[in-house]
Chain A
Amino acid sequence: MPSTGYLVGSVAICSAVTWALRALPFLALARLRHSALLPYFARYMPIGVMISLVVFALRDAPVAHPRQVAPLAAAAAVTVALHLWRRNLLLSMFVGTAVNVILASLVFR
């Protein structure tokens, strides 16, 4: 068991770094507010962020094993299709996850 001081220190460091990364850019960017670059990034950056997060979330997918990838692919397709159709965030998430759980737990074991 690590010492209490070490635990507190590690939490404090993570907390400080995380918050600094979230807060400091706002101070630096205050002057950039009125340039045309920000609206441009506001429009085109989110898709890059989201796709990075999707790939990150799937980074441990066993791409060499089709039987284990099949549930993920099916669930992803259902999630996207359902969202294009109903545009309901919770519904798309819930059904997509359910498809993955059912396929991964029962069908493609």
Chain B
Amino acid sequence: MFATVIFAGSLEFVLVGLVTAAAPLSQIAVAAFLVNVRHIFYALTFPMHQVHGTRAKIYSSFTLTDEAYALTMSPEAKGWSRRRILAVQAPFQVMWITSATLGALAGGLIPSSVVGLNFASTAFFLVLAVEAHQAGRDVPGVLVAVGVALCARAAVGDAMLAVAMGAFAVFLLIRFTLTSPRSHA
């Protein structure tokens, strides 16, 4: 049920922990905000102008996941149509919901001696980082990104995503105003 209505992976895991601890609703709202505030940064660059129609836009914004964002950021996605973007997002939603259900059922079948399967998500983001780097070719940006991510990890722990992405966005903003020929501020 969590998987269908909220459709936000990391938040669902946090929520299960909070609900079993009977946390107050206000704290749950704050956690939801912290875990998912990164979506603000996705909105900065997601090709929503190519998704026409109110209902399609609403669906598209609901299913704007890390994975969907990552895929539409690839260079080939520049000219993607509404149909193509939605066609990317829908399978992610279906996959996430079915695998969450299957995972809950099958999770118990994997022997406890098999560890490390959770590396799949790391590998996924690593691959997308490689893709992002080949599209952007920005070595100083990579170094700054690693730096702010590690600092955010050390400073705020599990709430690091929003802090790291926010700090990186500020870095880009400063660099943009410093390097652009005209002032855009």
Contact = CB atoms under 8 A, between A and B. Distances in A.
B61 interface: yes
Interface string B145-158: 11011101100011
Residues of A contacting B: mostly: helix
A18 B152 contact: no
A56 B62 CA distance: 22
A20 B124 CA distance: 26
B44 A53 contact: no
B33 interface: yes
Chain B residues touching A, range: 35 or more
A51 B149 contact: yes
A48 B15 contact: no
Given A18-B6, A52-B149, 17 more contacts: A14-B28, A21-B36, A22-B62, A23-B61, A37-B173, A40-B176, A42-B73, A46-B132, A47-B138, A48-B172, A49-B41, A51-B149, A53-B161, A56-B164, A76-B126, A97-B116, A101-B116
Interface of A: 2, 6-7, 9-15, 17-19, 21-23, 25-26, 29, 33, 35-38, 40-59, 71-72, 75-76, 79-80, 83-84, 89, 92-93, 96-97, 100-101, 103-105
Interface of B: 1-2, 5-8, 11, 15, 18-19, 22, 25, 28-29, 32-33, 36-46, 48-49, 57-58, 61-62, 64, 66, 69-70, 73, 113-117, 119-133, 135-136, 138, 141-142, 144-146, 148-150, 152-153, 157-158, 160-161, 164-165, 168-169, 171-173, 176, 180, 184
